[in-house]
Structure 1
């Protein structure tokens, strides 16, 4: 499998050249990306479409009615980006905390295609984290938004989608999480509900993998490294062009130096495409994989031609605070 990632310097924005593999390995496949409005979900949806899949995209933010994230991106925009690139997509406005809305999306997919081959569960909730406050001092109803958005949505979605995904053998269920199994087993994520939610998402893939194994389907969790999403770039006051320069600029406090290890959401998108294209993907059933491991195994890179190894870098920092993130790209 080959890539056509654009070569760039740290000061030059990557040219978004998106036919990541030599051929369209997913022609005829039907995919659903839950949480495709922005960030990882949008990149996954675009990369699946570039590989030939028909992609159904769901999200809450629609024209005139943004979600409580307060962002400008919409789910219709994701589908429009895909069709403008020559791909096939349909946008569905859907709150995945509402089972009836999910059921309606699945009914539409069933009516149109009669099957579903790939589910990517990417709904997050990290924007709801209250950092630095002890659990017993938090506003629990507010904090529980993370748990509902980051885990309950995944349960509702899996429950609604799996009857269609398992109608034929070979279905692929992918959970997007945060942190490798080894990292999460030995590290606390600095917020009780974030820690519970992200480890539970990996455990959900583990449990579903055991049940799906009985019907010739597969469940896998994938974690990105430090994701250079639209929200993260805005948060640090940088952009697609200057993020590396700004990270290494000692006169700036943000982004932090460690942001130089970050990766575009398309490294995750390419990981999903590679797994979905692999006829032997069931060997990863029940496991949590990371984007660097997937890139190494399948032989692809990020948009700038690099292969960031965020989790190795993060653990190295514990023993060598002066570790250079550029040596892990």
Structure 2
């Protein structure tokens, strides 16, 4: 296994980590002993119908064996994002891993086609695509200073298959291409960028949705824990395959199998490549 050129605990940032995927990823990185900066807007459980706060996630990172640092950040505020990374630069002078997961999702949108839903659904492209770019912009110098680094955009099969709606698909497809292009420019500095596609997750939002369904309509299939993606990210960073895989959109279940990573229950999530599609091959100009 390769190690960060600078010794000491890894330093990571997970955006949008009050709950859901970001919370699970932060917890898993904490299990690897990392110092994890946990960002989000939720300071009180009442800030979201699904509960969760950045302080709660940071405390779970501590319990897992890492060091959690809760930082309230609205990722639509470029100045606040710049201040976050300036603080990390001051405290550590470097960064190992950035996980771009922040997203602004309209809570419980009514059923219907995109023109029948609130226009705010398009905010996912601002906080969820543009915010990934802004965070990566500020993180890049710190990752380069580390001598080894990784940017991860949390992705989904919605990049190639219909899921939720056009704004969601555009955000996920854009995140994949953004990672590929950033990887091209970061490669000379030994910094990788990838998109990791998550499967159906067991999150607070999903549980609430299922609980509202009639008992006979509730899915019973196994779902990925949010921690699984974090375990995969930690293993990828430590892997000798890091730069070889840079630039790619990677299905988390397949990457986990390649790296020998299992979910928290010891099981192996299944790839949905043959039902929902897989990432396209990179154009030669991106290698």
TM-score band w.r.t. shorter chain? 0.7 to 0.9
Give matches, 1:115-264, under 5 Å. 115-128=94-107, 130=109, 132-140=111-119, 142-179=120-157, 184-185=159-160, 187-237=161-211, 252-257=215-220, 260-264=221-225
Q: 1:70 aligns with which of 49, 57, 74?
A: 49
Query: Is this contact kept in 1: 2:105–2:121, CA < 8 A?
Result: no
User: Partner of 1:214: helix, strand, or coil?
Assistant: helix
| Structure 2 stretches lacking a partner, 5+ long | 2-6, 278-287
Aligned to 2:87: 108
| Structure 1 stretches lacking a partner, 5+ long | 2-25, 239-245, 317-329
| Residues 129/198 of structure 1: CA separation in 2 closer, same or farther (3 Å cut) | farther
Q: 1:58 aligns with which of 8, 16, 39?
A: 39
Q: CA deviation at 1:64?
A: 7.2
Q: CA deviation at 1:86?
A: 3.4
How far apart, CA to CA, are the structure 2 residues paired with 1:97 and 1:126?
13
Aligned to 1:30: 11
| Structure 2 residue 21 is the aligned partner of structure 1 residue 40 | yes
| Residues 292/113 of structure 1: CA separation in 2 closer, same or farther (3 Å cut) | same
Query: Is this contact kept in 1: 2:60–2:68, CA < 8 A?
Result: no
How far apart, CA to CA, are the structure 2 residues paired with 1:190 and 1:299?
31
| Residues 313/98 of structure 1: CA separation in 2 closer, same or farther (3 Å cut) | same
Paired residue total: 272
Q: 1:302 aligns with which of 246, 256, 263?
A: 263
How far apart, CA to CA, are the structure 1 residues paired with 2:197 and 2:126?
19
| Residues 134/237 of structure 1: CA separation in 2 closer, same or farther (3 Å cut) | closer
Q: 2:272 aligns with which of 306, 311, 324?
A: 311
Query: Is this contact kept in 2: 1:129–1:146, CA < 8 A?
Result: no
User: Partner of 2:30: helix, strand, or coil?
Assistant: helix
User: Partner of 1:156: helix, strand, or coil?
Assistant: helix
| Residues 207/128 of structure 1: CA separation in 2 closer, same or farther (3 Å cut) | farther
Aligned to 2:248: 287
Aligned to 1:22: none
User: Partner of 2:240: helix, strand, or coil?
Assistant: coil
Q: Which string of whole-angstrom CA distances, capped at 9 and with x for unpartnered residues, describes residues 25-70 of structure 1?
A: x95211111111111111111111211211111111003772xx43
How far apart, CA to CA, are the structure 2 residues paired with 1:96 and 1:199?
20
TM-score of the two chains, using structure 1 as the length reference: 0.76
Higher mean displacement: 283-292 or 84-93: 84-93
Q: CA deviation at 1:162?
A: 1.5
Q: CA RMSD in A?
A: 2.5
Query: Is this contact kept in 2: 1:205–1:287, CA < 8 A?
Result: yes
Query: Is this contact kept in 2: 1:109–1:115, CA < 8 A?
Result: yes
Q: CA deviation at 1:306?
A: 1.3
Aligned to 1:326: none
Aligned to 2:236: 275
| Residues 46/136 of structure 1: CA separation in 2 closer, same or farther (3 Å cut) | closer
Q: CA deviation at 1:184?
A: 3.7
Query: Is this contact kept in 2: 1:44–1:268, CA < 8 A?
Result: yes
